Chains A and B, each alone.
Chain A
């Protein structure tokens, strides 16, 4: 169905090609998972399928890409629209019309599908994706999961043979992501549509894949069935890492497979003392930050209702909960820049809400969900110098901080050209320059791959070790399992759970990390813990 024939893609001004000499065949009806680190060329590979690369992005493509026999050299993306449907990360940015029904019809109008057929296909697609109730709704008032389903529906109505999904769930909370992935697997099984998918959080999708395409990062591409491929990929979900550690053959890809295989492993490690995920931190009696009775509402809608929160030095707290549960509102209210209708915040005797923004910033630092909102100069050096000016004299410079967080970011780089993780580090360095003792991170894991998340964990550990209180709001259970001491779960503006990580996330089947599900009832959370337990066995 899709054929890459000795494809080499080079962007202008790039020293080396992104993809080098790629030969790839994806057959009809396959679900093909594209894995690789950030910047390894996943989006380039996906874009090449319908010709967006290089027709739209620029660069040169040597070799040939053919879809159903049609070469992208002769056919620009619009001529392939009846064959390939593309869904991106942010559905709202790709909507052309403003209601669900019109959006579903848009692609067909471009393809000049007769009105009668259009009408029928819109109805079918509404049913297929469970959108019938939403047909007259405005697109911008839908939830993220609904929007992404509309985006998938809007390319499906053109009856493409191939569906290309570039990280369709990275902006969604776990429930919404489930909703989208369920819709996607139904398409594969019921319609036999060929799907090419790139996804960061592999633990959600590996079990559905028929073929895995691995981008090593140096331009080479290998492909094969999932189990053998994952023996050596540069990124892997915890279930696979556990499989690698335990030497299971073939590698299990789902919790179910792994659990059936895990009997002997469970027996070996039963009764062993369970290594701590994180070193025990002595909690000082007096918290660094004490918030009481916080209330935030927007018009009639209560976002945060009467929340108490204590943050202690050296403790990493994860803030979890579905989209719209009030996580961001709480963080902004604690920092003092966001609205707050009632309650008090006390940081060393001062309330950040009553101070100037410069003084508030020296008490509580917040990295917002879209870090790039804080960047407006045209080089990294200029941003750092600006931060030094804004923060006044203090030990060290923003540059030192940045080098400690993420070494090797050049001075003359444009902030927009940095990778997601580098940009996060840059903004964090700008915020840390004011030397706050309380650091709040709003969804920093979005868009980070596994190595990126490991780097973030090291940063967070470093901050905690330096005596900061850190709060990370996130949807990523695996990250929380390895990085947080304490978990606070919000729902509908209320705190519904607050306690040590192991207690809170193992207790709920939906929230538990993969390792916990596989090794239950043993309270293990991470692969590193199992590794340590096995290591102590070897020593004994």
Chain B
């Protein structure tokens, strides 16, 4: 590795592969030591490699969400007791609610054991950690840049999302403007009438804006047709539809117990292949290039590879017993620390060092001290 490293953003797809790999690995284990290790890894990488963009600050909300998941899990487990073993350590006893005889499958209340609480805690921790993995991907990869690497056939979808993100604040601004203007006309009515007075001008404004945006996009070359002919467009549509149908059948085949065996995997494979073909063909419909595309170089391979290796290792449970990955808490004991999964997770943690440093915000930020956002058409301040 060279001595000076040029700051740049890592390819968003690499971050997503890395995060999904970790999430997959997490789904295989309830070992709290491994789960905490994964959380530590996420924290380390984010602390090292996130920008100060608004989406990058969202990770803490995912952490809160994880905590809520754990709490809900424990509370439910305590209320809907599922029986206590002879050797269990009872923490406390809730009053028992007697259910009618036709509803006898569910016990509400009763003694709550330490073992049960621990088990539900680790279960919640697993789900929470998976959430945090996705949150990490969101924090590390710029969502707009991630949308740009969508295959050409899905390009329109990406643009729609980007436009929607841009339009939302404008809608709020025009809502505030109209609400303020209503007072000038002594907006007397309340309820439906007053709402009408706000909603209609705002919607008309939004509609006008979107028409103007559409005209502007059209005259700047959006949606130029590439080399595709009408025949090829039809082939694309047919491929995609068949592919999706195949995927549906395949999923059904895999999940439904009474479905014939041959329906599952083969249908998924064939359906997936059709979809990929369709996307490739459809991509030719649109001809575009992208400005300053994120390159895929060494660091991307290592980061994405780290995620994949971790996932594969934990999925195949190579070198470790199922027992080590999913330790039981009855009888009560300290969970084991399997060596190979720990190494795999540490490998994923190298992303925090291997990924190139993030670009620092530009010095011209100081010019931002302009008096109130001028975009809110002069005057009418919020």
Which residues in A have some Cβ–Cβ distance to B below 8 Å?
50, 52, 55-56, 76-82, 84-86, 88, 90, 92-98, 101-102, 105-115, 118-119, 122, 133-134, 136-137, 140-144, 147, 154-155, 158, 171, 298-299, 301, 303, 323-324, 327-329, 331-332, 335, 337-339, 356-358, 360-361, 365-366, 368-370, 372-376, 387, 390, 416, 430-431, 434, 442-443
Nearest residue (CB) in A for B226 is A112
Shortest CB-to-CB span from A446 to chain B, Å, is 10
Using a CB-CB cutoff of 8 Å, which residues 284-329 of chain B contact chain A?
Answer: 287-293
| Chain A residues with CB under 8 A of B288 | 109-110, 112
Nearest residue (CB) in B for A136 is B362
**Binary contact track B148-162/A, C-beta < 8 Å → 1, others 0:** 000000000001001
Nearest residue (CB) in A for B169 is A140
Interface with A: B27-35, B56-64, B214-222, B242-250, which one?
A: B214-222
B182, B224, B289, B380: the one contacting A108 at CB < 8 Å is B289
Q: Once the chains bind, are B221 and A158 in contact (CB under 8 Å)?
A: yes
Q: How far is the CA of A122 from the CA of B163 in the complex (A)?
A: 22
Shortest CB-to-CB span from A38 to chain B, Å, is 17
Q: Once the chains bind, are A323 and B224 in contact (CB under 8 Å)?
A: no
B188 close to chain A: CB less than 8 A: yes
**Total A-B contacts with CB atoms under 8 angstroms apart:** 214
| Chain B residues with CB under 8 A of A110 | 220-224, 288
| Chain B residues with CB under 8 A of A56 | 214-215, 218
Shortest CB-to-CB span from A357 to chain B, Å, is 5
| Chain B residues with CB under 8 A of A376 | 196-198, 200-201
Q: How far is the CA of A107 from the CA of B218 in the complex (A)?
A: 10
Give the interface size class of chain B: 35 or more
Given contacts A78-B221, A337-B183, A376-B200, whether A115 and B290 have CB atoms under 8 Å apart is yes
Taking A136-B362, A147-B375 as known contacts, 15 extra A-B pairs with beta carbons closer than 8 A to each other, sorted by chain A number, are A52-B215, A94-B212, A94-B216, A96-B159, A96-B162, A110-B224, A110-B288, A112-B287, A115-B291, A140-B169, A329-B381, A338-B180, A357-B187, A369-B380, A375-B201
Shortest CB-to-CB span from A507 to chain B, Å, is 25
Given contacts A81-B220, A102-B291, A375-B201, whether A97 and B162 have CB atoms under 8 Å apart is yes
Q: How far is the CA of A249 from the CA of B293 in the complex (A)?
A: 59
> Could you list 30 A-B pairs, sorted by A, with CB under 8 Å?
A81-B219, A88-B216, A96-B162, A96-B166, A110-B221, A110-B224, A112-B288, A112-B289, A115-B289, A118-B289, A119-B292, A140-B375, A141-B375, A142-B375, A143-B374, A298-B382, A324-B378, A327-B378, A335-B184, A357-B187, A358-B188, A361-B185, A366-B184, A370-B380, A373-B181, A373-B182, A374-B201, A375-B201, A434-B186, A443-B379
Q: What 6 A-B pairs have minimum CB-CB distances, sorted nearest first?
A: A328-B379, A81-B221, A105-B291, A94-B216, A110-B221, A373-B181
Q: How far is the CA of A324 from the CA of B159 in the complex (A)?
A: 33
Shortest CB-to-CB span from A245 to chain B, Å, is 35
Q: How far is the CA of A299 from the CA of B381 in the complex (A)?
A: 11
B144, B181, B224, B290: the one contacting A368 at CB < 8 Å is B181
Q: Once the chains bind, are A78 and B201 in contact (CB under 8 Å)?
A: no
Q: Once the chains bind, are A111 and B224 in contact (CB under 8 Å)?
A: yes
Most buried by B among A80, A111, A365: A111
Given contacts A109-B291, A115-B293, A361-B185, whether A158 and B220 have CB atoms under 8 Å apart is yes
| Chain A residues with CB under 8 A of B215 | 52, 56, 77, 88, 94
